[in-house]
Amino acid sequence: MKIPSRHALLLIDVINDMAFPESEALLKHALPAAKKIAALRKRLKKAGVPVIYVNDNFGHWQCDFQSQIKRCSSPESPGREVAKLLLPEDDDYFVLKPMHSGFYSTSLDVLLRFLQAETLILAGFAADICVLYTANDAYMRDFALVVPTDCVASEDAKGTRQALDHMKNRLKARVMESRYLHCG
């Protein structure tokens, strides 16, 4: 019998075509973060931590997650390098979200309770929008939060810094570089 880890890694909007006006600014910060996320995901999966992709469908209301992966990793997608670094594995979970928070009108809370998660490790894009709103809703549901500083990105460093400060000071998140994060 597998013992629940009590942690879950949420990868927020990492499978993203980045086909929007500000994408160039975000990609500049997202690609280095994606490399750190890939390493963290590998380490945490080895420790038995479940990985949950929490993704916008970006207005593609008739698309499923596999279609989104295909679109976001295609040669014409500006976000293809990030998406290819972070492709899900067969045992990963996914939740499609219609708005900024991973909890808004989704099954995320039910999935986390099923997995018996108590601490959520948040990584992804954009730190000052979707990661922050997901963190806020997780905090209101009494989840403990960990945010690896090198595994989130916004369009600029100031936005990321402000979001991290808010999560640390208002949402009681443990904020640290991913290399200091250990589960198990």
Decide if 23 is inside a domain: yes
User: Is the model's pLDDT at 3 over the cut of 60?
Assistant: no
Decide if 2 is inside a domain: no
Task: Give the chain's mean pLDDT.
Answer: 93
Decide if 79 is inside a domain: yes
Contacts for 169 with CB less than 8 Å, ≥ 6 apart: none
Give the confidence band of 1 by pLDDT, cuts at 50, 70, 90. Answer: very low
Decide if 99 is inside a domain: yes
Domain of 63, CATH number, reads: 3.40.50.850
Number of domains in the chain: 1
Per-residue pLDDT reduced to its tens digit, 62-89: 667 888 899 899 999 999 999 999 999 9
| Residue 17 lies in domain | 7-180
Per-residue pLDDT reduced to its tens digit, 105-161: 999 999 999 999 999 999 999 999 999 999 999 999 999 999 999 999 999 999 999
More confident residue, 25 or 22: 25
Q: What is the reported pLDDT for 182?
A: 83
User: Which residue type sits at 155?
Assistant: E
Q: What is the reported pLDDT for 62?
A: 60
More confident residue, 168 or 66: 168
Least confident of 22-36, 49-63, 96-110, 116-130: 49-63
Decide if 1 is inside a domain: no
Q: What is the reported pLDDT for 183?
A: 75
